[in-house]
Structure 1
Amino acid sequence: MNKPLFMHIVDRLSNEVDFFCQNKDGLGRIGLSALQKCTAAIRALAYGSAADTVDEYLRLGETTTRSCLENFVDGIIYLFGDEYLRRPTPADLQRLLDIGEYRGFPGMIGSIDCMHWEWKNCPTT
């Protein structure tokens, strides 16, 4: 994910989802930033790792990381669901087919990971 996209997501979450607002605890200490919470969630999603693997990297415990991940997913669905998490329209499909054909992969809508693309030099054909 590129940095501007990541920062856009962090900005929207921190402004529109209460969990990602930075608060003070009962002793007046500043809590985790939206950047820390989003980074923990994305790392857990990207690497499929256990929740306690960001402990040393971001100084978050397992329970906090899990909470960040759950709230991140809910926030993404809430903020971006209508635009990005929907069935593609015929215009969307045609645009994707045109892009695929331009790049040398005609008809690749049904095989987003190219698993059904025939490759004559594939060592495991």
Structure 2
Amino acid sequence: MHKGKEQKHGGSVYGRAFIRRESVDAHKRLMHNYFGSPPIFLEIYFRHRFRMSKDLFIHICNSVKQHDRSFEQRRNCTWLLEHSTKEKVTAALRMMAYGVPADYIDDTLVMAESTSIFYVKQFAKTMVEVFGAEYSRAPNAQDTQRLLEMNKARGFPGRAFFPSIFAGEPVDSPPLPATPTVSGDEGILGASA
């Protein structure tokens, strides 16, 4: 490196070990497990693990890829394929939904910790940019009615069971207990009743 010039981000970093991650094999495994014909794990397992339908997942992948070029599968400087869109979105969703640490993604999707953190940040930003206008607003009357009808079909009682909540009337609640005490005297928690 020349004197007076700052090092650019990227490239090999002195002192770091190179780990040959087989992202193509991880992609094949993900596709075989969930998107193959027939998949190893059925739709019910997909819904349980991804917390959404397969169609919604594919819609999110396509929307994110269309909006942010970093989610496209590209080749790196050594002409090897990088992670696929589905791998990147899966990593971001698992970290956000389950709260798993970034290095856990390395075990399942063979994605480095720094890479998975990058895609979580990009995914969150892209989701707000793509879907924010539609889903980040307060629900209107049509949305509320649609949700009530969906819940009624599922067996949730709705307005008939909780009329005061939906009518805007105050709900009677039990009186709050007196300030808690420790052994009946003025202890750590405050004055006695």
Q: TM-score, normalised by structure 2?
A: 0.52
Distance 1:3 1:98, change over 3 A: closer
The answer to which structure has the higher helix fraction is 1
Which residue of 145, 148, 172 corresponds with 1:97?
A: 148
Is structure 2 residue 82 aligned with structure 1 residue 39? no
Alignment of 1:42-81 (within 5 A): 42-81=93-132
Q: Which moved more, 1:81-90 or 1:99-108?
A: 99-108
Give a deviation string over 1:62-102, Cα, whole Å, max 9, x none: 11111111111111111111112211112212332343345
**Runs of 4 or more off by more than 4 Å in structure 1?**
none
Is structure 2 residue 29 aligned with structure 1 residue 29? no
Q: Which amino acid aligns with 1:17?
A: D
Q: Which amino acid aligns with 2:150?
A: I
What stretches of structure 2 of length at least 5 have no aligned partner? 1-51, 166-193
Q: Which amino acid aligns with 2:147?
A: L
Give a deviation string over 1:20-51, Cα, whole Å, max 9, x none: 01222122222111111001001111211111
Q: TM-score, normalised by structure 1?
A: 0.77
Which residue of 107, 120, 137 corresponds with 1:86?
A: 137
Counterpart CA distance in 2 for 1:80 and 1:88 is 15
What stretches of structure 1 of length at least 5 have no aligned partner? 111-125
Equivalenced residues, count: 109
Q: Which amino acid aligns with 1:67?
A: F
